[in-house]
Amino acid sequence: MKMLKTLVIAATLAIGAPALAQDTTAPAAPAAATAAPATPAVATPAPAAEAAAPAADATYVPMKPTDGIGQPVQGGIDFQPQATDLGQRAKNLNNHVLLPIMTVVALFVLGLLLWVILRYRAKANPVPSKTSHNTLIEVVWTAVPALILIAIAFPSLSLLAAQYKPASADAVVIKVKGYQWNWGYEYPDHGIGEYISKMLDEPAAKAAGEPFQLAVDNRMVVPVGQEVKLIITGADVIHSFAVPALLTKMDAVPGRANETTFTVNKPGVYYGQCSELCGVDHAFMPIAVEALPPEKFAAWVRSKGGKMPGEAAPAPAPAAAAPAAAAPAAAPATVPAAAPAAAATN
Ligand SMILES: [Cu+2]
């Protein structure tokens, strides 16, 4: 029967450790201009698109990180401030439900132990009782832990189900690939081919005003308020894509496509790290997710040579208008004439 109590405590501890573990690396983020992301290190499959909309590049300016947001803090013991509704729910569940229950159970068991040690020691209790059963107590210490576990199971399992609910059809799809030792990001619906995201060295991170060992050259950029679906895989060994402030942790396994989703609710830069021991430079493949308002996200997409889904390629519009104005009689011909132009610039 005493095994039960041990089991309850073990189970409570296990349930109380969700995937938003706090990173312990020390941040150092003086305010300064953020470095402009470098051009993709890997050739995109649509190089022609690079020239399609250079005018829009100027409107994307990499966001500066905020101290204490999306990154660890010195001496921090709580989870990072959560930037998704589900993350906030998980944090509330931990801080307001699980931690109080664990505290009460631990203190109660400690109290029982102290009472037994003091009250029933040989000196204070020379003639021990020969009682071996007490039905009421045995029923209580079986039923109460079971009821506690059932009470915890409802919010825990519904949170887990919400976290792994399949993404909606209009989610922003990003393919994430873990390499030894950097990350590749690809936006198939936006025409952005894979680009590589590497850690900045210390002088570069300092110059950019970003925390060293978390700052990267090319961030993953996502829109705020829209669901993001990550399809995650590994190129060589198992990595793990983890961003504590987004309640996101998913293994990147070679030969498998794992999926996870999140919806960021406020703009910001959120850092994470590879969280699966993957080799000698495991500690040096950080993750930086930049969440932007939708219009700024669209500007970033254009700066990468891509386009928003459903959006016409920017260049063909004037090209189609010109022949229509010059030769109105040839108007029916403009549509087929524009089509190859669109194909060429896309
Ligand atoms: Cu890794």
Q: Pull the structure tokens for residue 37.
A: 């992301």
Cα-to-centroid distance, 55 and ligand 1 (Å): 36
Cα–Cα distance for residue pair 244/202, rounded to 1 Å: 23
> What pLDDT sits at residue 328?
43
Residue 124's CB: how many other CB atoms inside 10 A?
A: 8
For residue 311, what pLDDT is reported? 75
Give the C-alpha separation, 277 to 281, whole Å. 9
The band of 7, judged by pLDDT with boundaries at 50, 70 and 90, is very low
Q: How far is the CA of 254 from the centre of ligand 1 (A)?
A: 12
Rounded CA separation 73/96 (Å): 22
**170 Cα: distance to centroid of ligand 1 (angstroms):** 29
- pTM score, whole prediction: 0.70
For residue 344, name the pLDDT band (cuts at 50, 70, 90): very low
Distance 180 CA to ligand 1 centre (A): 6
pLDDT at 313: 58
pLDDT at 59: 75
Check pLDDT > 60 for residue 183.
Answer: yes
* Distance from the alpha carbon of residue 285 to the mean position of ligand 1, in angstroms: 6
User: Can you name the residues that pair with 197 across neighbouring β-strands?
Assistant: 183
Render pLDDT for 294-343 as a digit per residue (tens, 0 to 9): 999 999 999 999 999 877 655 544 444 444 444 444 444 444 444 444 44
Number of other residues whose CB lies within 10 A of the CB of residue 88: 15
What's the gap in Å between 174 CA and the centre of ligand 1?
18
* DSSP secondary structure, 50-93, as one string: GGT-GGGGGG--PPPP-TTSSS--TT--SPPPPSBHHHHHHHHI
Measured CA to CA, the distance from residue 21 to residue 67 in angstroms comes to 18
Residue 304, judged by CB atoms within 10 A of its CB (0-12, 13-18, 19+), counts as buried
pLDDT given at position 310: 79
Distance CA 337, CA 163 (A): 47
- Band of residue 25 on the pLDDT scale cut at 50, 70, 90: very low
User: How close is the Cα of 288 to the center of ligand 1, in Å?
Assistant: 14
CA 240 to ligand 1 center in whole angstroms: 6
Ligand 1 is an ion; residues with CB less than 5 A from it: 239, 274, 278
CA atoms of 237 and 255, how far apart (whole Å): 10
Position 342 scores a pLDDT of 42
Model confidence pLDDT, tens digit, residues 95-145: 999 999 999 999 999 999 999 999 999 999 999 888 889 999 999 999 999
Most distant CA pair in the chain, distance: 115
Q: How many angstroms separate the Cα of 183 from the Cα of each of 137, 190, 219, 242? A: 56, 19, 10, 12
pLDDT at 309: 86
Beta strands in the chain (DSSP E): 172-179, 182-187, 192-197, 220-223, 227-234, 239-243, 248-252, 258-263, 268-274, 286-292
Looking at the chain, the number of H-run helices and the number of E-run strands are 8, 10
Q: What confidence tens digit (pLDDT) does each residue in 160-174 have?
A: 999 989 999 999 999
What is the CA(40)–ligand 1 centre distance, in A? 20
Cα 287 to middle of ligand 1, angstroms? 10
252 CA distance to ligand 1 centroid (A)? 8
Tell me the pLDDT tens digit for each residue of 219-271: 999 999 999 999 999 999 999 999 999 999 999 999 999 999 999 999 999 99
Q: Distance, CA 182 to ligand 1 centroid (Å)?
A: 7
258 CA distance to ligand 1 middle (Å): 15
* 35 pLDDT higher than 60: no
Contact 204, 215 (CB under 8 A): yes
Distance from residue 4's CA to the centre of ligand 1 (Å)? 38
**Interval 200-214: pLDDT, tens:** 999 999 999 999 999
58-62, 214-218, 242-246: least confident range: 58-62
111 alpha carbon – ligand 1 mean position (Å): 44
